Amino acid sequence: MAKLTSRSEDYSKWYNELVVKADLAENSGVRGCMVIKPYGYAIWEKMRDEMDKKFKETGHVNAYFPLFVPKSLFEAEEKNAEGFAKECAVVTHYRLKTDPDNPSKLIVDPDAKLEEELIVRPTSEAIIWNTYKNWIQSYRDLPILINQWANVVRWEMRTRLFLRTAEFLWQEGHTAHATKDEAVEEAEKMNKVYADFAENFMAMPVIQGLKTPSERFAGADETYCIEALMQDGKALQAGTSHFLGQNFAKAFDVKFTNKEGKIEHAWATSWGTSTRLMGALIMTHSDDFGLVLPPTLAPIQVVIVPIFKGEEQLEQISEVALDIQAKLRAKGISVKFDNDTQNKPGWKFAEYELKGVPVRIAMGPRDLENKSVEIARRDNLTKEVCSIEGLDSYIEELLKTIQQDLYNKASEFRKDNMTKVDTYEEFKKVLEEKGGFIYAHWDGTAEEEEQIKDETKATIRCIPLDDDIEEGISLISGKPSKRRVLFAKAY
């Protein structure tokens, strides 16, 4: 197996190679669309299941809405339409026919043109609010707390596996409320759910904040987000939650009678995370040897590799290994005993390192004699010899330790790559030399934001929601600023 390009050599290449070599995903025969391979999909399933649980615990239910949005609905909410019109796949026909000039080929049947074009959903506010119109008459019908797991399509010109693909998998929550306060509370709550998921399940620290007006979702009054820091010093937006005001209710005429008997438009939120999280996961924890997975997300948490010569030794080791496997499984730990006889232990070690299996147990004849095994941690590449007795409990604890250590390591990295700057010169210098999150003062105008973006490629990732308030003067205009905002170059 050829070694990965190292991160220091070419970070971008390292990422692309890793995604493919660790069997997570690959490019497909369709421009910009990826194939999510079984190993990658198994990780995504774990993300999905955990988020789904959190959504249900917070009172949400799942539903499914059409893949297609008729053009007339698509254009109903003006800002939303404008935001997505430039990158949407359009269905215009509903039939192919045999090419009269070449009977082995098919052509689009010109007689099967749709009366109205259908847009493949880039996001589902339009189709969903067109449906909610029929579901909402009275305040008693509210709130509606629905989530959808689906595929969406955005015709991006430059794509990268997981990070930016023409088609991706995601969840999109779409809620309707009787009051503005309730909708704002929902948007905030779901952003916190995302933060909790990112930190406690993905072991990925995030900054919670608000987007600036120019970075908001098309059609939103306010966009909350979680921003993570990747190992190359670039930011990655890992989830967003939007307070949509009454924009979609007005566009789709969704009115209800409130408690006071007055008719008003409903209030909306939407919130989403996607397979982009796979990219975030990879770039937060992995190293030059391959994937590093937090135990919560590892399809295989523990691998047992026997070191043996000949069948007899393998049999002796197998007996003990299968017993260990059974005990670990009884604790809900996923274990693979790799008794394949084709590949050498060294090959297996490299393979499971590449795949990010958190704990490797190696055992040979001498280990058996000593009633011990060798345990290797994937996260910090340390090894130790452990007694077989009580191994299951030891590993159960070890997995928790690894999960916490990964979070701590990522937090340390972020701390080391978070800089407060007070001048534009310093800003550019830090950005150039170090990257990372830069906390700086901004005057609140789109002009200053735009100028900084044009000149440095750094954007305001968010206006953090934490309590770290500190007044100052803005980077370029020198106008007063009430708090620092978070800048970074971003994926």
Is 277 a residue that touches a copy of itself (CB under 8 A)?
no
Q: How many CB atoms lie within 10 A of CB 363?
A: 23
Q: Which of 6, 12, 61, 446 binds a copy of itself (CB under 8 A)?
A: 61
CB of 41 to a copy of itself, least distance (A): 5
Is 329 a residue that touches a copy of itself (CB under 8 A)?
no
Which range of residues in 113-121, 174-182, 429-437, 482-490 is near a copy of itself by CB under 8 A? Answer: 113-121
Q: Which of 18, 88, 176, 187 binds a copy of itself (CB under 8 A)?
A: 88
Cα 68 to Cα 34: distance, rounded to the nearest angstrom: 20
Contact yes or no for 203/164 (Cβ under 8 A): no
Q: Which of 8, 86, 101, 366 binds a copy of itself (CB under 8 A)?
A: 86
Q: Which of 3, 6, 13, 30 binds a copy of itself (CB under 8 A)?
A: 30
Contact yes or no for 270/16 (Cβ under 8 A): no
Is 62 a residue that touches a copy of itself (CB under 8 A)?
yes
Residues 6+ apart with CB under 8 A from 283: 15, 230, 231, 232, 236
Residues 6+ apart with CB under 8 A from 319: none
What count of Cα atoms within 13 Å lies in the side-chain half-sphere of residue 3?
Answer: 7
Q: Residue 66 or residue 472: which is nearer to a copy of itself going by CB? A: 66
Beta bridge partners of 26: 35
Contact yes or no for 383/375 (Cβ under 8 A): yes
Is 304 a residue that touches a copy of itself (CB under 8 A)?
no
Interface with a copy of itself in residues 182-241 (CB under 8 A)? none
Which range of residues in 3-11, 65-73, 369-377, 401-409 is near a copy of itself by CB under 8 A? Answer: 65-73
Which range of residues in 77-85, 314-322, 331-339, 405-413 is near a copy of itself by CB under 8 A? Answer: 77-85
Contact yes or no for 173/55 (Cβ under 8 A): yes
Which range of residues in 99-107, 356-364, 365-373, 451-459 is near a copy of itself by CB under 8 A? Answer: 99-107
Beta bridge partners of 22: none
Q: Which of 12, 53, 96, 455 binds a copy of itself (CB under 8 A)?
A: 96
Q: Are strands 167-177 and 235-245 parallel, antiparallel or unpaired?
A: unpaired
Q: Residue 98 or residue 370: which is nearer to a copy of itself going by CB? A: 98
Q: Residue 127 or residue 206: which is nearer to a copy of itself going by CB? A: 127
Is 78 a residue that touches a copy of itself (CB under 8 A)?
yes
Cα 475 to Cα 456: distance, rounded to the nearest angstrom: 13
CB of 180 to a copy of itself, least distance (A): 24
Q: Residue 155 or residue 413: which is nearer to a copy of itself going by CB? A: 155
Whose CA is closest to 282, among 274, 293, 295, 298? Answer: 293
Burial (CB count within 10 angstroms: exposed 0-12, middle 13-18, buried 19+), residue 79: middle
Kindly give the interhelix angle for 276-285 and 38-57, rounded to the nearest 10 degrees: 110
Is 167 a residue that touches a copy of itself (CB under 8 A)?
yes
In 3-state terms, what secondary structure has residue 438?
A: strand
Q: Residue 219 or residue 464: which is nearer to a copy of itself going by CB? A: 219
Q: Which of 16, 42, 451, 490 binds a copy of itself (CB under 8 A)?
A: 42
Size of the site for a copy of itself (CB under 8 A): 63
Q: How many CB atoms lie within 10 A of CB 397?
A: 10
Is 29 a residue that touches a copy of itself (CB under 8 A)?
yes
Identity of the amino acid at 101: D
What count of Cα atoms within 13 Å lies in the side-chain half-sphere of residue 123?
Answer: 26
Is 108 a residue that touches a copy of itself (CB under 8 A)?
yes
Q: Which of 12, 13, 63, 329 binds a copy of itself (CB under 8 A)?
A: 63
Interface with a copy of itself in residues 456-485 (CB under 8 A)? none
In 3-state terms, what secondary structure has residue 88?
A: coil
* Cis preceding-peptide flag for 143 (omega within 30 of 0): yes
Kindly give the interhelix angle for 391-416 and 276-285, rounded to the nearest 10 degrees: 90
Is 38 a residue that touches a copy of itself (CB under 8 A)?
yes
Q: Residue 132 or residue 271: which is nearer to a copy of itself going by CB? A: 132
Is 278 a residue that touches a copy of itself (CB under 8 A)?
no
Q: Residue 84 or residue 439: which is nearer to a copy of itself going by CB? A: 84
Which range of residues in 9-17, 56-64, 351-359, 456-464 is near a copy of itself by CB under 8 A? Answer: 56-64
Burial (CB count within 10 angstroms: exposed 0-12, middle 13-18, buried 19+), residue 72: exposed
Q: Which of 3, 9, 91, 329 binds a copy of itself (CB under 8 A)?
A: 91
Is 343 a residue that touches a copy of itself (CB under 8 A)?
no
Cα 213 to Cα 165: distance, rounded to the nearest angstrom: 25
Burial (CB count within 10 angstroms: exposed 0-12, middle 13-18, buried 19+), residue 192: middle
Is 163 a residue that touches a copy of itself (CB under 8 A)?
no
Chain residues binding a copy of itself by CB under 8 A are 26, 28-30, 33-38, 41-42, 44-45, 61-71, 73-75, 78, 81, 85-98, 104-106, 108, 117-120, 127, 130-131, 134, 146, 150-151, 153, 155, 167, 169
